[in-house]
Structure 1
């Protein structure tokens, strides 16, 4: 039986990218960040969100695909061992995709596959690969502790 999953679709430099809804704790409007004493690639700054300090990341910078120049929102990603903020240009909304709709031929890096709908190509994020990418470039807990 093919299972349907809920995905939150955002834009990263005008490209539709979908995150599993189970990964996202919340979506918050963009707000000013506190600078970090680290030069960690992709770390934009720190934010205090209801008493919790989060590192805010730019996944495009980490992967060498540019940067989010004018973020409008931040996704709070809830990984098993950490929680981080991720800068995004826009929130498009929720889409539902089945496993059979996902093409894994274009998978790689933190993209687990792609799917097309209404003449648009959606890149689907792999939570574990994204967490590994972030961990490879920075120790989030060390950045938070040093601030």
Structure 2
């Protein structure tokens, strides 16, 4: 039997991107960021959320494929080693996907594969690969020390 998992679907520049629901701690409306002294690619700034300082990332910039120009929401991603904010254009909501149906031919970087549903191509995020990608660009600990 196929395993169906809950995914949170967002849009980055109009493209649907699906995150495992277990990775997302919360979704918050976009808010002004504090600038970061770092010139790290993809780091948009810092935000204080309930007493916790988070680096806010632009995953498109990290991949060199543009940027999230007008984010509406921030996903708070809860990685085993860190917690970061991720800028997104739009949050579509929760969907259930069967990972058995995933096509891994277009996998690469932080995308573990794609799924097509109702003529839409969803890119499925690999949390471990995304965390590694973000770690290459910033060490959140060093950013927090500079405040």
Bin for the TM-score computed over the shorter chain: over 0.9
With the length of structure 2 as denominator, give the TM-score of the two structures: 0.98
CA distance in 1, matches of 2:81, 2:61: 22
**Deviation per residue, 1:35-92 (Å, 9 max, x gap):** 0011011000000000000000000000111000000000000000000000000000
CA distance in 1, matches of 2:102, 2:120: 13
CA distance in 1, matches of 2:93, 2:40: 30
Displacement after TM superposition at 1:117 (Å): 0.4
Aligned to 1:85: 85
* CA RMSD in angstroms, aligned pairs only: 0.6
CA distance in 2, matches of 1:35, 1:100: 42
With the length of structure 1 as denominator, give the TM-score of the two structures: 0.98
Aligned to 2:122: 122
**Deviation per residue, 1:101-140 (Å, 9 max, x gap):** 1111110000000000010000000000000000011111
Aligned to 1:51: 51
Aligned to 1:64: 64
My pick for the range that moved more, 58-67 or 99-108, is 99-108
Displacement after TM superposition at 1:2 (Å): 2.0
User: Structure 2: where are the runs of 5+ without partners?
Assistant: none
Query: Deviating runs (4+, > 2 A) in structure 1?
Result: none
Matched, 1:24 2:24: yes
